[in-house]
Chain A
């Protein structure tokens, strides 16, 4: 009897630990909870934008002094990244409509630096009609930096054995201070209200 009770408590403790106190069952939910709790800083590594310009990520965010919305993509992607692209197009439109150009910056980071050179990224940006002042495309300067970048943002990328990748897709919100503050679904309906909030806090 006593043994069973102790074992039961141990089991409940273990399940509670892996689910962050019965809040999450997947690692995707866990990474979102962790980012909003710990608010890690953007890693200060070199990125290349679609114009071929090198910049340091951390410095860049602070210089811009804007709210940054980041997604992770690769240009050969046929599924999720398209949805992400559409969402970013809408966000770009809404940013212009609300006159938030000086307060909000969009950033799409490619995790396929081998294929997505800055020229490829520029073509991709043109296809999506991205306005360079609002929407930046970039990839890592050194392929070896990719792991650290993806780890900070909690993005897992795995080859799908058909030449593409499967990856978890979400929008990560970075405060002007360079801290990751929030993760939202690419099809979440609250992006506009978040933009309104930003516009209202002028």
Chain B
């Protein structure tokens, strides 16, 4: 479970991100016409991540081949959408995105750690505990990186960002 959520998921996202790096400039600007300020793209990322944090989705994907296909497709798509939307999104859109996603990850992690029962029938309870702790750690680390980037203008300038 921990490997599934905390290793495989990020790797598929990364694959999508790297694929999107290869998108030519022309197609990129075409994408911007429907992806104003990266809002639509980040919405895709948010919804895909929400979906794959639902315990039933994690359980069902182990026995349902169709869902597994969708897992790879949607996570790769989310990775690509993140790459295509992060630069166009300003500080406000990014803040809104992270301000929703990071607390949600913390809640999901806390739920996995604190639940008195197993939330996934196909995973052992100590695996659930590991996954929950991992999600919490990831969310806290993400928040710190984000706060650091927000309050350290030097980092912002280095990124070439504008508000």
- Interface set of A (CB-CB < 8 Å, partner B): 1-4, 7-8, 10-11, 14-15, 18-19, 24-30, 156, 158, 160-161, 166, 168
A27–B120 CB distance below 8 A: yes
With A26-B56, A27-B55 as contacts: A11 and B50 at CB distance below 8 Å: yes
Specify which chain A residues have a CB less than 8 angstroms from the CB of B117 in the assembled complex. Answer: 28
B56–A24 CB distance below 8 A: yes
- Per CB-CB distance, the 10 closest pairs between chain A and chain B, nearest first, are A11-B47, A156-B121, A27-B59, A3-B34, A3-B40, A4-B40, A26-B55, A27-B56, A26-B119, A168-B121
Q: What CA separation (Å) do A158 and B62 show in the bound complex?
A: 13
With an 8 Å Cβ cutoff, the count of chain B residues facing the other chain is 27
Specify which chain B residues have a CB less than 8 angstroms from the CB of A24 in the assembled complex. Answer: 56
Select one of B34, B50, B120, B124 contacting A26, CB under 8 A.
B120
Among the interface residues B43, B119, B121, which one has the most CB atoms of the partner chain A within 10 A? Answer: B121
With A1-B36, A3-B34, A7-B44 as contacts: A15 and B121 at CB distance below 8 Å: no
Select one of A8, A29, A168 contacting B47, CB under 8 A.
A8
Specify which chain A residues have a CB less than 8 angstroms from the CB of B125 in the assembled complex. Answer: 166
Q: A-B pairs with CB below 8 Å: how many?
A: 71
Specify which chain B residues have a CB less than 8 angstroms from the CB of A11 in the assembled complex. Answer: 43-44, 46-48, 50-51
> Whole-angstrom distance from the CB of B126 to the nearest CB of chain A?
9
A160–B36 CB distance below 8 A: no
Specify which chain A residues have a CB less than 8 angstroms from the CB of B120 in the assembled complex. Answer: 26-27
Q: What CA separation (Å) do A166 and B128 show in the bound complex?
A: 13
> Whole-angstrom distance from the CB of A24 to the nearest CB of chain B?
6
Specify which chain A residues have a CB less than 8 angstroms from the CB of B48 in the assembled complex. Answer: 11
Specify which chain A residues have a CB less than 8 angstroms from the CB of B40 in the assembled complex. Answer: 3-4, 7
With A4-B43, A24-B56, A27-B59 as contacts: A18 and B51 at CB distance below 8 Å: yes
As a 0/1 sequence over residues 117 to 139 of chain B, the CB contacts with chain A under 8 angstroms (1 = contact) are 11111111100000000000000
Among the interface residues B35, B39, B40, B117, which one has the most CB atoms of the partner chain A within 10 A? Answer: B40
Determine whether B60 belongs to the interface, using a CB cutoff of 8 Å to chain A: yes
Determine whether B19 belongs to the interface, using a CB cutoff of 8 Å to chain A: no
Q: What CA separation (Å) do A87 and B16 show in the bound complex?
A: 51
Q: What CA separation (Å) do A30 and B48 show in the bound complex?
A: 21
B57–A18 CB distance below 8 A: yes
Specify which chain A residues have a CB less than 8 angstroms from the CB of B141 in the assembled complex. Answer: none
A8–B43 CB distance below 8 A: yes
A25–B55 CB distance below 8 A: yes
Specify which chain B residues have a CB less than 8 angstroms from the CB of A168 in the assembled complex. Answer: 118, 121
Determine whether B73 belongs to the interface, using a CB cutoff of 8 Å to chain A: no
Specify which chain B residues have a CB less than 8 angstroms from the CB of A158 in the assembled complex. Answer: 122-124
> Whole-angstrom distance from the CB of A126 to the nearest CB of chain B?
31
> Whole-angstrom distance from the CB of B96 to the nearest CB of chain A?
13
Could you jot down 14 A-B contacts, CB within 8 Å? A4-B39, A4-B40, A7-B47, A11-B44, A11-B47, A11-B48, A18-B54, A18-B57, A26-B119, A27-B56, A27-B121, A28-B119, A161-B124, A168-B118
